[in-house]
Amino acid sequence: MEVHDLEFLFHPDSIAIVGITTDPDDLRRQRFLKPLLDFGFGGRLYLVNAKGGEIMGLKVYPSLQDIPGTVDYVILSVPAELSVAVMKDCIVKGVKAVAVYSAGFGEVGTEEGDALEGEIVRIARKGGIRVIGPNCLGLHCAKSRLTYRSEYPKESGPVAFLSQSGGNTTHLVQMAAPRGVRFSKIISYGNGRDLNESDFLDYLAHDPETEIIAVYIEGVKDGRQFIRTLRNAARAKPVILLKGGCGEAGVRAAAGHTGALAGDDITWNGLCKQLGVVQVYSIEELADLMVSFLFFPLPKGRKMALVGVGGGASVLACDACTNSGMVLPPIPEHIKKRLLQFTPLAGSILNNPVDTPSIFQVPQFIETVKTVTSWEEIDYLITFLLSADIFPSYLGRYEQAANGVLQSSKICSKPVAIVLQDASHPETFEKTFLAQQRLTSAGFPVYPTIARAVSAINKFLAYHRQ
């Protein structure tokens, strides 16, 4: 079997959750059952606990060997010291893959933990079993209804996320999914003692359902193998990488989290530049780049126009553009004259950015965008809408303004990105969220700030210009 031939992991016909608790208050050890039920996993689902019984209408078997049917995939959630016995049962049962959720292995930094981790992998390999983890959440594949989180999108999409951290997978999805990002595969691989970052990256590079690969990594098992795999993956499709644990404190944290061997920031920066990998520095930026690669049409260049409302926001937008290497050409007189035909001079700044209250009047704002984007000097447009928190009177007109942004974006003759500033109050948050849903459903890239939009677009352009 070739390394990248791991498709069977994501399409099990039967799953056993070993170590599930019968205590209704112990939600941590029941965390895998409800997501599989919520997602509608169509295969056979078995529960294992030495006490037996029943959970959510499903029979609980005392051991794996008591299960009458075959088991393809095991989610192992027993204390670490019991894992060796369970792994031996997996061999007898003919299990193909085990995701070890349990912690207490190599990441704890003791000889005993490392030896225990090595032993379960040794047993697994003897029986031809592949191991994900230990100390991980495992796999998500919407297409096969395999998951570990009920909140993940049920629709499949072209983005894969490979993460050493389970918590960061959830954080990333919470950031990206409301902005329209959908996932082919999500992989939390933890310590990676058997299947590691290089194995999964190689698989994703060959996966026809994956068009964009995002990676969160704290360290690697084999540096040379990883560089070869990363180079091949970056040649096949865009790779966006977030490296955790670059500073001294981060290195210590990475070692305590997954037992990873981390490298310094300079090394990783150089590696990413050499291989054509897009490097980011936060989960938020990782989500922004996903949005850019998915929804932002490639502009011809870096010259942009900004159209929206808010003088202060316009000034900060200019700073953000300058810092990101973008160009904001001044609006020429003939464009200004055309704008004045339907834009009130009072309250407007017809430079670039164009700060105009016409955003609250849909027909006028559509004409504003049409006029600005007809100007040959610019390559793309960002429209921005202030947070509904700022003015009490703004909330009643917010939906109208958002509709103006949507309608004008649909007729825009240049690539367009949209900024909806975040809201914090419950009512304004709901308005913003609904507006974002409308815009993402229409296929537009949406960002929470102008600075994040131009930073993401800058890296998106740099990737395509290399």
- H/E/C letters for each residue in 298-352? CCCCCEEEEEECCHHHHHHHHHHHHHCCCECCCCCHHHHHHHHCCCCCCCCEECC
Average of per-residue pLDDT values in the chain: 89
In the block, residue with structure tokens 């974006």: 409
State the amino acid at position 316 in one-letter form: L
- 24 close to 46: Cβ distance less than 8 angstroms: no
State the amino acid at position 454 in one-letter form: V
Domain boundaries 304-465, CATH class: alpha beta
In the block, residue with structure tokens 């949406």: 446
Cα–Cα distance measured from residue 457 to residue 462, given in angstroms and rounded to the nearest whole number: 8
The answer to whether residue 453 scores a pLDDT higher than 50 is: yes
424, HSE (Cβ side, Cα atoms, 13 Å): 3
Structure tokens at 312: 């202060």
Q: What length does the chain have? A: 466
Under CATH, what is the fold of the domain 7-132?
Rossmann fold (3.40.50)
What's residue 424's pLDDT? 75
- What are the backbone angles phi and psi of residue 105, rounded to the nearest 5°? -110, -130
Q: What is the 3-state secondary structure (H, E, C) of 43-69?
A: CEEEEECCCCEEECCEEEECCHHHCCC
216, HSE (Cβ side, Cα atoms, 13 Å): 28
458 — pLDDT class (breaks 50, 70, 90): very high
27 — pLDDT class (breaks 50, 70, 90): low
What is the mean pLDDT of the segment spanning 74-82? 94
- 209 close to 158: Cβ distance less than 8 angstroms: yes
Q: Where are the domains of the chain?
A: 7-132, 151-295, 304-465
Local structure of residue 136 (DSSP, 8 states): S
In the block, residue with structure tokens 């230990």: 134
Which residues pair with residue 131 across a beta bridge? 98
What's residue 251's pLDDT? 42
Domains 151-295 and 304-465 share a fold: yes
Please give the CATH superfamily to which domain 151-295 belongs: Succinyl-CoA synthetase domains (3.40.50.261)
What's residue 455's pLDDT? 93
| Higher-scoring residue by pLDDT: 343, 117 | 117
What angle, rounded to 10 degrees, do the helices at 362-373 and 333-340 form? Answer: 160
